[in-house]
Structure formats: structure tokens, C-alpha cells
Structure 1
């Protein structure tokens, strides 16, 4: 089962996302990026789903980005409303995708699915498509 690390400071949103995603993924959640940095030192996540950080958390976000750089872990950021400056900043941090709040939960699941790494066995054979 793929692992998602959720970073969300709002308790109700964090609870909703954990419950919603847990049917398909192993979901771990933290309230702050600082907690995520501590978690990622000892654990592996296939994907990090992060709420856009507050101004005081941007240094921690840079640390998180440095920790996952070069790994198979993708970052998806949830931005406030539809602010392009937040999407641009998230992409500069290395986010593979951004989604504005409020979002459709089905769309979120589809975006997560496209960002999770796929694994192929070494002996897998491919057939040509007609």
C-alpha cells in the first residue's frame, strides 16, 4: 500500500483527509511542516500532501524540499483559494501538482493517483499494442 504524509494544520480538514484517503492509502498526518521534517527523517512517504505553509513556515518548507529532493517522494500542495502566487511558490519548492481550496475530493484522489510512483518488476514484459 502506498504511503501518504499529510501536512495540515486545521484539525477538521486533517481528519477529513485522513478518513477520505485511508481507504486506498496508508496515511500519516502531522499538523506542521516542522513535524513533517522530523517524521521524514525516519520514515518514507510515497507522496506528501501539504497545505500551503504560512509565512513563518517557509524555512521549514525549504528544509522539507531539500530532504525529498532526488527521492521518489512527490509533493502535492493545497493552496488557499485560487492564488497563482501560491501555486508558483509551490512549484518552486518542487511540488509536482497544486490544487486550490475548496477542492473536489474526487479530483484530489485522481491527482494523487497520477503523482504516485509506479513500480515495474525487472522481468516484466511489454506487448506491442496493435
Structure 2
């Protein structure tokens, strides 16, 4: 499975821990994030992740910024992307189970690194339930 990851200056250490976990589980990871805590603009790192999802170059994406909101808003501008802002593993589970999200957005200033790793692992291990949720997911995509 292929994962694209992008982060701004709030997330280099988060990204490092998440990439380590992903690679240990055998995922192929494409890294678009910064490795510095110097201020950068999160859209510069979000758009490449979203393009990978839209073009089928990645199965899932992980994006990280301070609140998780701006980077989620950015990736959600792209067709075929459904990003969910997740600050607990339970929300990550439901975001996949009910919304078939393909990008998880991590709020670095509101989660610990171990929590973020657990959120991403839960997100990737959860399958979309389909059924009554499929019609809703179809309606999300219909507007694109």
C-alpha cells in the first residue's frame, strides 16, 4: 500500500514517528513534508499529497499541521479526496468506517506523538463499512 505524507513546521517530529511506523508495517511512503520547524505554508505540502490521491498514485494520505484544519481544508479542495480531522483514534476509526476518508489530518498542537501514531494506525487498519454510508459518500463526491 502507498501512503503520501505532508506536514508543515508543526509536524516534523510527528511525521518522523509516523513514517517509522508505516515503514515498519511495510507501507511505501512518499514524503512531501518539511523536516524543519522554520515557518512554511502548509498548502505547499498538502497539494502534492492530495494530487497523489486524486491521480491514484497513493492509496491514502496523512497530513499534519498545528490545528489540522488548514491542511485538511486544502486537501479537501481536490477531487477524490475525503480528509478527516482526527484527534483521537475513535474519530479516526469512524472517519474510515462511515466516511471512507482517504486522508487523515493530524492536529500536532492538540495530540501527542504517540497519539498521532495510534490515530494513523487505526485509520489505515479500518475498512469502510459501506451499506447505508455509501449513499452519503457518493453525495460528497457528486459535488466535485
Which sections of structure 2, spanning at least 5 residues, go unmatched?
Answer: 34-41, 83-99, 129-144
**Cα deviations by residue, 1:85-108 (Å, 9 ceiling, x for unpaired):** xxxxxxxxxxxxxxx434063453
Determine the structure 2 residue equivalent to 1:126. none
Pick the structure with greater CA Rg.
1
Contact between 1:8 and 1:30, CA under 8 Å: does it hold in 2?
A: yes
User: With structure 2 as the length reference, what TM-score do the two structures score?
Assistant: 0.48
d(CA) in 2 for partners of 1:67, 1:104: 24
- Would the alpha carbon gap of residues 105 and 11 (structure 1) be closer, same or farther in structure 2, given more than 3 Å must change? closer
d(CA) in 2 for partners of 1:104, 1:35: 18
Residue 26 (structure 1) shift: 0.8
User: With structure 1 as the length reference, what TM-score do the two structures score?
Assistant: 0.52
d(CA) in 2 for partners of 1:22, 1:79: 22
d(CA) in 1 for partners of 2:105, 2:81: 18
- Would the alpha carbon gap of residues 36 and 104 (structure 1) be closer, same or farther in structure 2, given more than 3 Å must change? closer
Determine the structure 2 residue equivalent to 1:121. none
- Would the alpha carbon gap of residues 115 and 47 (structure 1) be closer, same or farther in structure 2, given more than 3 Å must change? farther
Contact between 1:50 and 1:75, CA under 8 Å: does it hold in 2?
A: yes
Task: Indicate the structure with greater helix content.
Answer: 2
How many equivalent residue pairs?
Answer: 97
d(CA) in 1 for partners of 2:17, 2:46: 19
d(CA) in 2 for partners of 1:19, 1:70: 24
Ranges of 4+ aligned residues in structure 1 off by more than 6 Å: 70-73
Matched, 1:41 2:54: no
Among 102, 109, 112, which residue is 1:101 paired with? 112
Determine the structure 2 residue equivalent to 1:114. 126
**Structure 1 vs Structure 2 CA RMSD:** 3.6
